[in-house]
Chains A and B, each alone.
Chain A
Amino acid sequence: MGVALLLIVITLVPLLCGTVIMRFMHTQNRSVAGMYASGWFVMFALFEVVAVPFIITKRSFHLMADVYTVVVLLVALVGAFFVKRVWVSLREQAANQEKSSRLCKIGYLVVGVLVIAQMVFLMFHQYYDGDDAYYVAVALDSFEKDVMYMHSAYTGYPYPEVEMRHALSPVPVWIAWLSKLSEIHPTIIAHTVLGPVFIGLMYLIYGLIGRRLLHDRKNWVPVFILFVMLFYVFGHVTIYTAETFAYTRTWQGKSMYANLVIPMMYLALLYVSDKKWGLGEWALMWVAIVSGAFCTSVSIFFGAVFIVIFGICLSFYRKEKRDIPGMLACLLPCLVLGLLYIRG
């Protein structure tokens, strides 16, 4: 039962949550892969919004987890309501598009095989990272002791106060939520489940970026993903690179930021900067920025810098008043969380 629930949470729930964003995106930017990928970010952003108030007011983990479950289910239900409409537009779009070449299909097959091979490898191989003594231990403490950030992760002694730097980025508590749903130990969820799943998700996002960058040469998208993979697999040149983090600390918030959130921010940038965009494109940017804060507190600052620079560049590129609310909406969570960070 637990495993089945976990499978639903990592497959069906993101797909339905993503539909809510997809519904408001321009038809040319809609895809099943985009639905699934954006759904994860909806889940991350919702968790940041729901969990942080519970954490800083020192509420119990199970209460927060129950509220989050209800919120995610509600959003998934709204998504289910939009599925038919989005599906029809996807089919229309597919009918109008030219068919992929045979070589392109073989390319996708190669990409799929290589990604699955890496996922299987990561499932059966271990890498010991010192920071897990913090992140995984916080997840386990939340799951077993029903408190969030109230104990020292390293020793288990009580903390007098919640440490704001970590509390604003509650990835470990989200892992504990997955454990609560599935009744699987948080360490197994982090190391054996999320590691491989996030590698797959990362390449999916790069695939979407490839589709957007090579929109007039779609047959080259698998080659684009293969080159991304080449760079990632050989990018372990120092312990600091995003590529190193991708394969060694996949389940940690900072790696999720570098390898899931930042690519998603660029995907949203490409969508928003296009001539054809709707509310959903800015919503995607918003959930990506909030997901950044969910992953690591440095992103509160980096997210703001990114949005300001993007806003300035966009205003030189096109002068549209309707961009301003989107930019302000993306900046707002950074400001609110930044204030909390400074006060904490």
Chain B
Amino acid sequence: MLETIQSVVDIYKNYSGTSVLMLLVLIALLYLWVTQKEKSPLTILLYVVTTLYALFFIPVYSYVVIHFLLEEEVYYRMLWLVPSAMLFAYVSVQALIHAGSVQRRIVTAGMIVGIVAGAGSMVFTDGTYTKAENVYHLPQDVIDVVDIINSGDARIIAAFPPELVQYVRQYSSDITLCYGREMLVERWGYESPLYDAIAAPILDVWTIQSEARRAYCNCIVLDNRKAIVGDLENEYYLKIATVGNYDIYIDEQTAYEHYNEYLDK
């Protein structure tokens, strides 16, 4: 039980971070409790929100939920049930209404904006987004590589470098992957010798081809910026194209049957 209490506190800390934004929500909730005198739908909302908030921290509840109903990893979503933005906005409006004169309202609004801007992190300017490369919002390299692979009309089982693997099947479900995004999340504990060989800083051709054959992989995409020991073309994988920093190799038989136009080039 003590362990669960500690976990819940950690989950809350991870959720709110070092910002005081969630503290503002608590202050808003407290303010409403103090000022809300008459019975109204808002009173019920306050009861519900406060109970849900309290429930999150109640050890017996969190123990049962974490151990028997949900995973600890998703318990933080209980905090989504507290309508933070709504409470904050409503109390902010009340503060403006009670401020009285126009000048006071402007100062109050300025203070509120200043506090939130200072305490928070603006989603549009903190490097979260990049300009979209295409209408799919996927890396253009992935689209170019997959278009070439799909042009052969062959049944392809492919191995991609780590930085591309999670996007391939968002663009085309015609390609089967020897390994997928599960390899990128260490805590999930998946293993693939082929992934290890392709993700390594120095590419060892002999290991890559032997692991690829074992996984029935007939297409290998390699990062051509990496140092490479050996030549895949000597191991019966033919390079059919280069797209930016990526070389596309196809198993010899598949290449001759489906990608002749590229081999001719």
User: Which residues of A are interface residues toward B (Cβ below 8 A)?
Assistant: 121, 123-128, 130, 132-134, 136-137, 140-141, 143-145, 151-157, 185, 187-188, 191-192, 206, 209-210, 212-214, 217, 220, 223-225, 227-228, 230-238, 240-244, 247-248, 254, 257-258, 262-263, 266, 269-271, 273-274, 296, 298, 301-302, 305-306, 309-310, 313-314, 316-317
Contacts and interface: CB of A to CB of B under 8 A. Distances in A.
Interface residues of B, number: 81
**Which 5 A-B pairs have CB atoms at the shortest separation, nearest pair first?**
A154-B180, A234-B120, A227-B89, A273-B41, A191-B137
B81 A262 contact: yes
B137 A227 contact: no
B171 A187 contact: yes
A192 B136 CA distance: 7
A123 B129 CA distance: 11
Given A121-B124, A126-B132, A188-B135, A133 B170 contact: yes
B258 interface: no
23 contacts: A126-B130, A126-B133, A128-B139, A130-B184, A132-B170, A137-B170, A145-B173, A187-B136, A188-B135, A191-B136, A206-B85, A220-B96, A224-B89, A224-B90, A233-B123, A234-B122, A236-B120, A236-B126, A237-B18, A254-B77, A263-B86, A301-B65, A314-B44
A60 to B, nearest CB: 15
B48 A126 contact: no
Contact of B90 (A213, A305, A310, A317): A213
B56 to A, nearest CB: 10
A156 B80 contact: no
Most chain A CB neighbours (cut-off 10 Å) among B19, B48, B121, B175: B48
A310 B48 contact: yes
Contacts of B90: 210, 213-214, 224
Interface string B157-199: 0000000001101111111111111101100000000000000
Contacts of B69: 301
B47 interface: yes
A125 B131 contact: yes
Contacts of B80: 242, 257-258, 262
B88 interface: yes
Contacts of B86: 206, 209, 213, 228, 263, 266
B45 A266 contact: yes
Nearest to A265: B81
A262 B124 CA distance: 24
B113 interface: yes
Interface in B65-115: 65, 69-70, 74, 76-81, 83-86, 88-90, 92-93, 96-97, 112-113
A214 B93 contact: yes
B243 interface: no
B181 A130 contact: yes
Nearest to A296: B77
A254 B15 CA distance: 15
Contacts of B85: 206, 227-228, 231-232, 235, 242-243
A269 B45 contact: yes
A248 B123 contact: yes
Given A258-B77, A313-B44, A314-B44, 11 more contacts: A127-B130, A141-B169, A155-B180, A210-B89, A224-B89, A225-B89, A228-B85, A234-B122, A237-B16, A238-B17, A305-B55
B122 to A, nearest CB: 6
Given A130-B185, A154-B182, A238-B14, A125 B21 contact: no
B43 interface: yes
Nearest to B47: A313
Contacts, number: 250
B245 interface: no
Contacts of A152: 180
A235 B45 contact: no
A89 B130 CA distance: 47
A242 B88 CA distance: 14
Contacts of A209: 86
A145 B172 CA distance: 10
Contacts of B9: none
A317 B166 contact: no
B52 interface: yes
Most chain A CB neighbours (cut-off 10 Å) among B117, B131, B167: B167
A132 B184 CA distance: 13
Contact of B131 (A126, A130, A238, A313): A126
B132 A124 contact: yes
B119 interface: yes
B128 interface: yes
B200 interface: no
A282 to B, nearest CB: 14
Contacts of A132: 166, 170
Contacts of B51: 309, 313
B123 A247 contact: yes
A152 B181 CA distance: 11
Nearest to B183: A154
Contacts of B89: 206, 210, 224-225, 227-228, 230-231
Contact of B124 (A233, A238, A310, A316): A233
A133 B136 contact: no
B119 A270 contact: no
A34 to B, nearest CB: 16
B116 interface: yes
Contacts of A257: 77, 80
Contacts of B43: 317
